[in-house]
Amino acid sequence: MIYLLYHNGMAITRGYEGLPIVEAIYKCAQSNPDDYLLVHEKTADIDTFKKALQELNHQAYFFSNYNHTHEDFGYVEDGPFLNINKKVRYPTWLKGTAIVCVHAKLVHMTIATHSSVKNYLYWLNSIGRLSRPLGVLNYQIPTAIQNEEFKEKDLYRFVKQHYKTSWVFILFLCHLWYEKRFPISSFIKALFYKKKHLKIQIQELQKNREVDTTINFDYDVVIPTMGRPNYLKQVMEDLNEQRFTPNKLIIIEQNADINATSALDFMEEKRWHFEIIHEFTSITGACRARNRAISLSNASWILLFDDDLRVQDDFSDKILGFINERKEKCITFSCLQKGEQERQHTFKQWESFGSGCSIVHREIVERCKFDMALEHGYGEDVDYGMQIRQAGYDVIYAPQIQLLHLKAPVGGFRKPHLFPWQEDEVQPKPSPQIMYHRKKNYTAKQLLGYKVTLFIKFYKDYSIKNPISYYKYFKKAWNKSMYWSQKLAPDAKV
C-alpha cells in the first residue's frame, strides 16, 4: 500500500510536493500500478481506518471516510446508498476526502474521463457514482467523520452529469417547493454540462488474488410454500443432487383453511440427503414463515429459497467457489425466467435483495428479521436488504450463479389480503407498506423527492385532470398512506 499525504488540497509527500492532490494521485498511480493508494489529510487517523478495511483480495474496492457530501441528493436518488449508518462500514458511492483507499489501476482507468477534474470532492464522488454499478465495491468507513458539502453549483452540475437530465428539473422543483429557494443560476449553468461516463476493465479489477476451496460448506435451506407440492418436489430433488447438500431443509407449509392437512406426502417416498424439518400452519405470510424457518436453523449459512425454482447440479459448487473467492456474507443470485438473458456478467453491489434467491451468513440472520409490518404487502425483501446494510454488511449480486424461476401459475402468496384501508373512499398512495418502508429506510429528503416524482408520474393515470383538483386529491391520498403506515408497525405480530 502506497501512502500519499496532502494538506489544503496540495500533496506534501516527497516526490509529489506542491502538486494538486488529484494530479498527484494520477502521478502516484502511474508510478505504482499494482498497489492500493492510501490518500489522506496529514492529520487524519489512518490507523483506525486501516483496521476497518476488509481483506483486499481484489482491486475493485474504493473506500473513504464518512461524509454525507450533500443531503439534497435525496431529492434525486432513490435507493439504499444515502441513509448511511455512521457506526459501521457502509456500502455507498458517497465519498469523503480525509482518507481514501483506491487501487492504482482503477485510478489509471479514469484518466480519459476524470483527469481534468480539479475539485477533489467532486472527483472522488464522480468516480464512486459511476464505478459502483460497473462492479467496483464502494464503502464509507466511520472514521474521520466529515460534513464537507458540494457547493450549490457543484450539486447541480453533479446531478446533470451523473443522472438523467430530468432530475435537474426535479432538484430545482424541490428547492423551489420545499425550501422556497430559487437557485436559477446554478440550474441554468448545469444544463450546459455534458453527461459523464466511465469505462473500466472491471474483469481485470475483480480478479482474485488467491482462491481457497478447502473450507467446509455448512448450510441450511429455508423455503416457505403454499399450494405448490409438485414444484416444491422439484426443488428438493435438485438440492438432493448437489455435491454439497444442505444440512437441513426447513419447510414452512401454509394453508389458510384451518381444516386442511399437508399436501407434501411425497417427502416420505424418497431418501433425502438432508434432514427435513416440516411445519404446517394455517397462518399465512412469507415474512412470518421465513423468520420461523430461520429460527429452526443452526448452520453457518442460510439459503433463502422459493418453492418454484430449478437449479443445476453444480449450483452449490458455484456458491462455495464465490464465497471462498470473495469473502462476502450476503449473496443474491441471478433469478431468470425461461428465455430471459442475464445482462450483468460481473458481481456488483446490489440495490435490493432477493428473499427467495439469496444466501446469507448466520451473523446476518442473528441481526436481521423480516419485518412483520410488511406481511402480505410489498417491500419486505428490500427492507431486509436495508437491515443488512445498516448492520455493516453488503448485498452482492452474483450473476454467474443462476436459478430458473418457473413463476408457478398456482399457489404461492398470490391470494389477495384484505387491508383495513381498502374500504376508504380515498385510497392511500403509495401503498402503506411502501410508505412504511420508505419512512423507515430512506432519508427525509428522499421521501420528499419520491413524493414529487409520484405526483408527476400518476397524474396521467388519474381521471382528475384539473391540476388543482388533482393536487388536492393526491395530498389526501398521500396523507392517508402516511396515516396507515404508522398503524402497520404497532399492528405487526410475529
Tens digit of pLDDT for each residue in 380-411?
Answer: 999 999 999 999 999 999 999 999 999 887 76
d(CA 74, CA 81): 10
Of all residues in the chain, what percent carry a pLDDT higher than 90?
Answer: 86
Dist. CA 423–CA 236, nearest whole Å: 42
Please give the angle made by the CA atoms of 346, 351 and 355, to the nearest 5 degrees: 95
Residue-level pLDDT at 209: 72
What is the structure's pLDDT at 49?
A: 94
Q: How far is CA 13 from the centre of its chain?
A: 37
pLDDT score of 494 more than 50: no
**Contact by Cβ (8 Å): 206, 58:** yes
Average pLDDT estimate for 239-268: 95
Tens of pLDDT, residues 432-481: 999 999 999 999 999 999 999 999 998 888 888 888 999 999 999 999 99
Average pLDDT over residues 243-260: 95
Percentage of the chain modeled with pLDDT above 70: 97
pLDDT above 60 for 212: no
Q: Cβ(91)–Cβ(349) under 8 Å? A: yes
Mean of pLDDT over the chain: 94
Please name the residue that has the C-alpha cell 402497520.
488
SS (HEC) of the chain = CEEEEEECCEECCCCCCCCEHHHHHHHHHHHCCCCEEEEEECCCCHHHHHHHCCCCCCCCEEEEEEECCCHHHHHCCCCCCCCCCCCCCEECCCCCCCEEEEEHHHHHHCHHHHCCCCCHHHHHHHHHHHHHHHCCEEEEEEEEEECCCCCHHHHHHHHHHHCCCHHHHHHHHHHHHHCCCCCHHHHHHHCCCCCCCCCCCHHHHCCCCCCCCCCCCCEEEEEEECCCHHHHHHHHHHHHCCCCCCCEEEEEEECCCCCCCCCCHHHHCCCCCCEEEEEEECCCCHHHHHHHHHHCCCCCEEEEECCCEECCCCHHHHHHHHHHHHCCCEEEEEEECCCCCCCCCCCEECCCCCCCEEEEEHHHHCCCCCCHHHCCCCCHHHHHHHHHHHCCCCCEEEEEEEEEECCCCCCCCCCCCCCHHHHCCCCCCCCHHHHHHHHHHCCHHHHHHHHHHHHHHCCCCCCCCCHHHHHHHHHHHHHHHHHHHHHHHHHCCC
Taking the model in full, what pTM does it have? 0.94
| Contact in structure between 417 and 376 (CB atoms under 8 Å) | yes
What pLDDT, in 10s, does the model give residues 318-365?
999 999 999 999 999 999 999 999 999 999 999 999 999 999 999 999
Q: pLDDT tens for residues 227-250?
A: 999 999 999 999 999 999 999 999
The rounded distance, in Å, linking the Cα atoms of 200 and 197 is 10
Residue in 154, 170, 156, 161 with CA at minimum distance from that of residue 127: 161
Peptide bond just before 430 cis, omega within 30 deg: yes
Write out pLDDT tens, residues 292-307.
999 999 999 999 999 9
Computed over its alpha carbons, how large is the radius of gyration of the chain? 25
Least reliable range by pLDDT among 17-31, 50-64, 183-197, 480-494: 480-494
pLDDT, one tens digit per residue, over 318-327 is 999 999 999 9
294: its cell numbers: 430461520
**pLDDT score at 415:** 64
Region 37-64: mean pLDDT is 93
Answer yes or no: is pLDDT of 485 > 60: yes
Looking at the predicted structure, is the pLDDT value of residue 412 above 80? no
Q: How far apart (Å, rounded) are the C-alpha atoms in residues 401 and 319?
A: 7
- The C-alpha cell at 198 is 466511465
Contacts of 114 (CB under 8 A, 6+ apart): 123, 126, 127, 196, 198
Instruction: Band the pLDDT of 213: cuts 50, 70, 90.
Output: low
